[in-house]
A and B are shown apart, each in its own frame.
Chain A
Amino acid sequence: MFQLFLIAFRNLGTHRRRTLLLGGAIAGVTALLVILMGLSTGMKETMLRSATTLATGHVNVGGFYKVTAGQAAPVVTAFPKILELVRKEVPELDYAVQRGRGWAKIVSESSSLQVGVGGIDVKDEPGFRQVLQIHEGTLDGLDEQNTVLLFEKQAKKLQVKVGDTITISAPTMRGTNNTVDVRVAAIATDVGLMSDFNIFVPSNTLRSLYQLRDDTTGALYLYLKDVSQVPQVQARLRTVLADAGHQLMDNDPRAFWMKFEVVNREAWTGQKLDITNWEDELSFITWTLTALNGLTGILIFVLLVIIGVGIMNTLWIAIRERTREIGTLRAIGMQRTRVVVMFLFEAMTLGALGTLAGALVGLAVCLGVDSAHVGVPEAVAMFIMSDRLHLVVNAGSVVGAMVFITACTTLISLIPSFLAARLKPVTAMHHIG
């Protein structure tokens, strides 16, 4: 086998220009794949970090309370007991926070906006400080009752700055509109799509707006030490909460505000809990990731087809050039299977070296772009939830890409290899050309 490998390796070296051309193409595809995967992973990571802090936990215990069948409010009543149970049953928990949920109109002297209103206890939110960059004012300002945190674009539209007062007007379950005047305590730098339709006020301000009790909140956001444990935790919580006597909604992987219509149509009243995860709550924006992954798939497929044709052609040429050699080797006793293996080795060696070079280039580009803090246009920033490109390389994925592309190149070479092996020794030996 070593001898076959040696022949394959040295033949690649002998036809240096052809090897470099094809190896370069394989390296290019690998590098592109690594970069696209880095971008996708980076987006996912950014989304996970930013969006989970602003709009969802890794796992959420939310739900709806219905006074009558057709009037649902996105609240969880008597949440301290649920929180206690969750802390006891979820050892994977890093920390948990309660968040109020609302939908309101904010009005300044010059403009107004419809936004989601999050009620937070800013002192209990360690992730919040890490994710948000405060452009103006301080986050601690949200400690005070009747304050609000806006994002830059919102502040610009409303034409307000820190210290100004705006009015929040929200429809209540009784059909009336409640209003509260709040002072702008902080203006944060935009974080993509999330900051277009979210503002934050202290929990008590939100409760007073909706006239809710102190033990009522919008949802419990659970942050885990390891995000990969979300499915297990989610499943366990369903069992534990049901065992504790809570009514649970059927699993529906959508954001809570997309469920009003369904919930209002159902006949039940009282409290039902809804266990969701971050992907459910962000399902309306994770399509960007799906689209990127789809695009990556299509692009890589097309490139692999081109590379495949290139490899086939190259092997055709190699086989044509080496037909006499194949004939000689078959004449001196080499079985057909070994001829196939010899050419497969050649394709595999080319694939392995090409993908290794490509992976290194892709890795260097990812690390370079990431550390250079390359900015992105506003439209892109909206989707990737960051104003700069963040690329994350996952070693497992890179190795996977290398193995996949090498396997593809090797498999593609099977056809010309089989045809080479099928040549009759006498025909091959007397081949001219």
Chain B
Amino acid sequence: MNAAVAQSPIVSITNVTKDYTLGKVVVPALRGVDLQVHPGEFISIAGPSGSGKTTLLNLIGCVDTATSGVVSVAGQDTKQLTERQLTHLRLHTIGFIFQSFNLVSVLSVFQNVEFPLLLQRKLDKNQRKERVNQLLEQVGLADHAKHRPNELSGGQRQRVAVARALVTRPQLVLADEPTANLDSVTGQNIIDLMKELNQKEGTTFIFSTHDAKVMSHANAVVRLADGKFLDRLTPSEAKRAMAAGAEGH
């Protein structure tokens, strides 16, 4: 792999807008956002409610389409892809961690984690089993493989979601407020786990949060406000900027 390819961004967003139509009213969620994320980065997207964090993650995750501008993931312009190709891209390139875990309630922990591998149809049964067990071990849930999601605590469920997001070894993991529904200790554990996987596996993580403590673990903090890109800061700069903003209020 040459240096130029290695440096090419995994996510490239250029002048992206996204409007939602509510009845006769058009509500702009993103207004000309530019962003580049490189492989191996651990990026936090910060901003108050309604700033466009989730919308941005949805566009990067190919679960929604931009009104205008270019969203490129793993070198592919998502606007040029068919629904089938977008689904394929999500399955093979992107992992998702949702705020409210979004596990399949009728499947066991093992089956939930195994599910994306079944959709991929790349590995045989033994290889799948090995991969899932290894991940469950990593997230500390090896003993809970046969449990159903409703038999687990919130933190445990989110760890299952992390394992499910990582099981396909995606290049990019998107996490929308992964700690919002967890207590601070459990939230910290989840972020530590994500960070560990980022460092060990080199997986790119983009997660949204408005918790300064969580933000402090990121390589960079991208701040949004009113659907606009504000700045890209280091965690300490972001903390100061947020503190100043709070004092200003």
Contact = CB atoms under 8 A, between A and B. Distances in A.
Contacts of B92: 333
B87 A7 contact: no
B61 A331 contact: yes
Given A332-B116, A338-B119, A426-B58, A3 B111 contact: yes
Contacts of B84: 335-336
Given A336-B83, A426-B63, A426-B64, A331 B106 contact: no
B96 interface: yes
B107 A332 contact: no
The residue among A10, A327, A328 with the most chain B CB atoms within 10 A of its own CB is A328
A330 interface: yes
A429 B101 CA distance: 11
Contact of B119 (A6, A13, A332, A429): A332
Contacts, number: 72
B217 interface: no
Contact of B63 (A7, A11, A331): A331
Contact of B96 (A7, A14, A332): A332
A425 interface: yes
A424 B115 contact: no
A328 B107 CA distance: 14
B119 A334 contact: yes
Interface in B72-98: 83-84, 87-88, 90-92, 95-96, 98
B87 A335 contact: yes
B164 interface: yes
Interface residues of A, number: 24
Contacts of B95: 332
B172 to A, nearest CB: 13
A3 B64 contact: no
Interface in B111-130: 111, 114-116, 118-120
B165 to A, nearest CB: 8
B58 A325 contact: no
B8 interface: no
A329 interface: yes
Interface in A26-57: none
Contacts of B88: 333
B119 A11 contact: no
A183 B63 CA distance: 95
B230 interface: no
Nearest to A11: B106
A122 B87 CA distance: 81
A332 B111 contact: no
A308 to B, nearest CB: 25
B104 interface: yes
Nearest to A10: B106
Given A6-B111, A324-B102, A425-B63, A332 B83 contact: no
B64 A7 contact: no
A425 B87 CA distance: 10
B105 interface: yes
Q: Is the interface of B mostly helix, strand, loop or mixed?
A: helix
Interface string B37-66: 000000000000000000000100101100
A11 B104 CA distance: 10
A330 B168 CA distance: 15
A409 B5 CA distance: 53
A3 B121 CA distance: 12
A419 to B, nearest CB: 15
Contact of A332 (B58, B90, B105): B90
Interface string A252-263: 000000000000
Contacts of B104: 7, 325, 328-329
Given A3-B118, A6-B111, A338-B119, A333 B87 contact: yes
Contacts of A330: 63, 87
A14 B106 contact: yes
B107 A6 contact: yes
The residue among B64, B104, B111, B164 with the most chain A CB atoms within 10 A of its own CB is B104
B98 A14 contact: no
A425 B61 CA distance: 10
A429 B63 contact: yes
The residue among B61, B114, B119 with the most chain A CB atoms within 10 A of its own CB is B119
Nearest to A4: B118
Nearest to B90: A333
Interface in A381-433: 424-426, 429
A331 B118 contact: no
Interface string A313-341: 00000000000110111111111101000
The residue among B111, B115, B120 with the most chain A CB atoms within 10 A of its own CB is B115
Contacts of A332: 90-91, 95-96, 115-116, 119, 164
Contacts of B111: 3, 6
Contacts of A3: 107, 111, 114-115, 118
A325 B102 CA distance: 7
Given A14-B106, A333-B168, 19 more contacts: A3-B111, A6-B107, A10-B106, A10-B107, A329-B104, A330-B63, A331-B90, A331-B96, A332-B164, A333-B87, A333-B88, A333-B119, A335-B84, A335-B119, A424-B63, A426-B58, A426-B63, A426-B64, A429-B102
Interface of B: 58, 61, 63-64, 83-84, 87-88, 90-92, 95-96, 98, 102, 104-107, 111, 114-116, 118-120, 164, 168
30 contacts: A3-B107, A3-B114, A6-B106, A10-B107, A324-B102, A325-B105, A327-B63, A328-B96, A328-B98, A328-B102, A329-B104, A330-B63, A330-B87, A332-B91, A332-B96, A332-B119, A333-B87, A333-B90, A333-B91, A333-B92, A333-B120, A334-B119, A335-B87, A335-B119, A336-B87, A424-B64, A426-B58, A426-B63, A429-B63, A429-B102
CB-based closest 4 A-B pairs: A333-B91, A10-B106, A425-B63, A328-B102
